[in-house]
Chains A and B, each alone.
Chain A
């Protein structure tokens, strides 16, 4: 071998920087220099705010104080439900046989029966008493003992109760529910209940024989005054039949009532007058206006208390407007984001720019990553700005137009805003990935819109039964809208917890994760195809 070696040509110029930061900068330059895309992004934010505002204004409340009176509108029509100790709307109507109790003390009773009446076809008529009603309790018909601050609706309380289908429970301050002995209270298997007060602390016990007592729970009712009302109560929530029909669910139902039979009533403590006073809290007497005597009877140590209504959180969204209604414009914004994100890659294919892009940066995975980061970040910002404006503005307008807004914590508001921005970002990445796979803008935009918006429509506003709708909101990208849910489903309240009514089957971030999984899958497929195919 000869020693002559031919040196390959080496440029004197230093190597160009081809780091990820340069790629990001290149992609950002593409975004900001195409006027149509910037307009599209601003349109996304604008549509989100504008349509949310229009919806809020479209929620104008109209009402009239009397059949012949003038029609009122706006704030004059706001109906604020009873509010609990934490400011949340509650149901608080029941029949209460009570005495005063000052200082520490306790009440013990034996429940020997819990019976009830309801209208089987869900159409009880007002004013005809209980005729035509069928006997039977509701799962959450309840009768038991209660210590309550006063007889005002929404005041703090703690109660021990027998229920129609959920055994003995200890419930306090509306939202809290602790399970006790299972089984139904009856003459053959009576339930003993006891509540003791010590300062702000109330402890609940249950027993089946007055000998072996089990502590169910100890709760603190902060700021409980010295004198409270203590006594027997009965309540039975409205009976609801939900049937799915065209255009969503129809709910039929009607009032029900529950009757608790008590004996061995023992009240220990000072301040009591020794006589029981019957009060229908919040109109919670017997259903359909039965005679007074039926509400509360006392003979030779046996008490019967009959009531209807419920002591529970108002889980039904009919009491007010959930905060996420002010983000409904996000669907319009998302469509604009999908268009921009799809064009971000399909336009490169149409013009052949992709070949230049890939020539400049041959590591195709990094190109895709840079594109995903840039479009995701841009969409996130657009979504964040839009949601941060739309949520407070929409809620403010809805309130001034007479809606009662269901209260949400600041943490929840932040979750709504950041979650909406997150949906924007991940949907943009999904559209980018699908666009890389399909290379055609029309097909990409349609596929992503159908996957997100149509699956949402099919779950919330269609002929499909609730079960199918729930699976759609578990499995399709529309699951992500769970991140906008503010309504809380309470197991101790029977209601129609369907996507149709704003309740998603998945928790907020789990639903969001479903969308992320779709985006990750599409991005993986896009990467595979991008490496395999010629550009």
Chain B
């Protein structure tokens, strides 16, 4: 892909006259948590001064709620046992919201590579994995906040709308409530799902570096699996795609009914996504140390 700007200022200090206040603890006893905390603070400063971030966070919530509301309004339950899963329907918007989460995570990394800022960052904080850990904390933290709003809004709208569409006690559907354990699992799990998508995107963006290529890779990884699952007729392979692709497996957490028919259990599915995210972060951490910035 296209290389970063060639004439970006190289911020390598040539003299060892760096302020001792920062240089000393870096190699000293404060390297662990204190170093991570400093990195987190630096990343937070960078992120909160970007004008687009607040809009991305709003978009995560707004788009998720909008699509969820549309799905909740579109699905009806004319008879008892209508084979629908209201919790899953009410959280359909996550399929769109995750794309915005991916943008956020990719920008946190690729933005720095495209401007050459990454070299300043690594000059200031040579422990690269610490930087990655700080970025991961920040992305997952922000996603958890925006995702919580998105999920709560989606469930609330479904709670208001769905009883009018036949999802009533008489048809075997009690009012959606977060005190109901499976619904709580679907809701909280969807928030975690978004955070894991953020981490997966962060890892891929660190591997790929270029924003467009990274977002293409992430969305391809997420969105292609349902399409391929739809045309693969061999049951073994179909099952494998459903069980081990990040989106299909991860969204199993949204199921609240008929769990036995799912290709993978809710928490196992989320675990598969967590494994994807961990693998991406691990690979990016290793490559970050090996490659020039």
**Do B229 and A446 touch (CB < 8 A)?**
no
**Do A347 and B219 touch (CB < 8 A)?**
no
Give the residues from 200 to 242 in chain B that come closer than 8 angstroms, CB to CB, to chain A.
Answer: 210-216, 219-220, 223-224, 226-234, 237-238
Q: Evaluate whether A445 and B71 lie within 8 angstroms (CB atoms) in the complex, with A246-B85, A321-B233, A457-B226 already known.
A: no
**Do B227 and A442 touch (CB < 8 A)?**
no
Q: Which of A346, A351, A442 has the most CB of B within 10 A?
A: A442
Shortest Cβ distance from A324 into B: residue: B231
Nearest chain A CB to B247 CB, angstrom units: 9
9-residue interface stretch from B31-39, B75-83, B270-278: B75-83
Shortest Cβ distance from B81 into A: residue: A243
**Do A342 and B74 touch (CB < 8 A)?**
no
CB 8 Å contact bits of A51-63 with B (1 = contact, 0 = none): 1000100111110
**Do A460 and B230 touch (CB < 8 A)?**
yes
**Do B103 and A446 touch (CB < 8 A)?**
yes
Residues of A within 8 A of B103 (CB): 442-443, 446
A332→B99 CA distance, assembly (Å): 16
**Do A335 and B231 touch (CB < 8 A)?**
no
Shortest Cβ distance from B78 into A: residue: A243
The yes or no answer to B281 lying at the interface (CB within 8 A) is no
**Do A465 and B74 touch (CB < 8 A)?**
yes
Nearest chain B CB to A469 CB, angstrom units: 9
A462→B94 CA distance, assembly (Å): 12
**Do A457 and B223 touch (CB < 8 A)?**
yes
Residues of B within 8 A of A134 (CB): none
**Do A457 and B106 touch (CB < 8 A)?**
no
Which of these, B95, B215, B228, contacts A442 with CB under 8 Å? B215
Residues of A within 8 A of B214 (CB): 442
Nearest chain A CB to B230 CB, angstrom units: 5
A66→B99 CA distance, assembly (Å): 48
Residues of B within 8 A of A350 (CB): 114
Shortest Cβ distance from A328 into B: residue: B231
CB 8 Å contact bits of A345-357 with B (1 = contact, 0 = none): 0110011000000
The yes or no answer to B92 lying at the interface (CB within 8 A) is yes
The yes or no answer to B194 lying at the interface (CB within 8 A) is no
The yes or no answer to B255 lying at the interface (CB within 8 A) is yes
Residues of A within 8 A of B255 (CB): 246
A465→B96 CA distance, assembly (Å): 18
**Do A449 and B212 touch (CB < 8 A)?**
no
CB 8 Å contact bits of A313-351 with B (1 = contact, 0 = none): 000000001000100100110011011001100110011
**Do A332 and B224 touch (CB < 8 A)?**
yes
Nearest chain B CB to A95 CB, angstrom units: 33
Secondary structure class of chain B's binding surface, majority of residues:
helix
Interface size on A, residues (CB 8 A): 53
Residues of B within 8 A of A453 (CB): 219, 223-224, 227
**Do A328 and B233 touch (CB < 8 A)?**
no
**Do B95 and A457 touch (CB < 8 A)?**
yes
Nearest chain B CB to A275 CB, angstrom units: 47
The yes or no answer to A135 lying at the interface (CB within 8 A) is no
**Do A461 and B74 touch (CB < 8 A)?**
no
The yes or no answer to A403 lying at the interface (CB within 8 A) is yes
Nearest chain B CB to A439 CB, angstrom units: 12
Which of these, A244, A245, A335, A467, contacts B219 with CB under 8 Å? A335
Residues of A within 8 A of B210 (CB): 36, 343, 441
The yes or no answer to B88 lying at the interface (CB within 8 A) is yes
Residues of B within 8 A of A40 (CB): 1, 213
**Do B212 and A442 touch (CB < 8 A)?**
yes
Residues of A within 8 A of B238 (CB): 58
**Do B234 and A60 touch (CB < 8 A)?**
yes
A441→B92 CA distance, assembly (Å): 26
CB 8 Å contact bits of A1-42 with B (1 = contact, 0 = none): 000000000000000000000000000000000101000100
Q: Evaluate whether A445 and B96 lie within 8 angstroms (CB atoms) in the complex, with A51-B228, A461-B226 already known.
A: no
A256→B173 CA distance, assembly (Å): 33
A61→B235 CA distance, assembly (Å): 9
Residues of B within 8 A of A61 (CB): 233-234
The yes or no answer to A517 lying at the interface (CB within 8 A) is no
CB 8 Å contact bits of A426-454 with B (1 = contact, 0 = none): 00000000000000111111100110011
Q: Evaluate whether A461 and B230 lie within 8 angstroms (CB atoms) in the complex, with A58-B237, A443-B103 already known.
A: yes
Which of these, B107, B227, B237, contacts A331 with CB under 8 Å? B227
A245→B86 CA distance, assembly (Å): 10
The yes or no answer to A226 lying at the interface (CB within 8 A) is no
A40→B223 CA distance, assembly (Å): 19
The yes or no answer to B170 lying at the interface (CB within 8 A) is no
Give the residues from 119 to 159 in chain A that come closer than 8 angstroms, CB to CB, to chain B.
Answer: none
A21→B146 CA distance, assembly (Å): 49
Which of these, B83, B84, B213, B234, contacts A339 with CB under 8 Å? B213
Nearest chain B CB to A483 CB, angstrom units: 16
- Give me 23 A-to-B residue pairs in the complex whose CB atoms sit less than 8 angstroms apart, sorted by A's number: A58-B232, A58-B234, A59-B232, A61-B234, A244-B84, A245-B82, A246-B88, A331-B227, A332-B224, A335-B220, A343-B2, A346-B212, A350-B114, A441-B215, A444-B212, A449-B215, A450-B219, A453-B227, A454-B95, A456-B227, A458-B92, A458-B95, A460-B227
A58-B238, A59-B231, A457-B223 known, 18 other contacts, Cβ within 8 Å: A55-B231, A55-B232, A244-B84, A245-B83, A328-B231, A332-B224, A335-B219, A335-B224, A343-B2, A347-B2, A350-B114, A441-B211, A441-B212, A445-B216, A450-B99, A461-B230, A463-B84, A465-B75
Give me the interface of A with B, judged by CB distance under 8 Å. Answer: 34, 36, 40, 51, 55, 58-62, 243-246, 250, 321, 325, 328, 331-332, 335-336, 338-339, 342-343, 346-347, 350-351, 403, 440-446, 449-450, 453-454, 456-458, 460-465, 467-468
Give me the interface of B with A, judged by CB distance under 8 Å. Answer: 1-2, 5, 71, 74-76, 82-85, 88-89, 92, 95-96, 99-100, 102-103, 106-107, 110, 114, 210-216, 219-220, 223-224, 226-234, 237-238, 255, 258
Closest 3 pairs (CB-CB, A-B): A245-B83, A441-B212, A36-B1
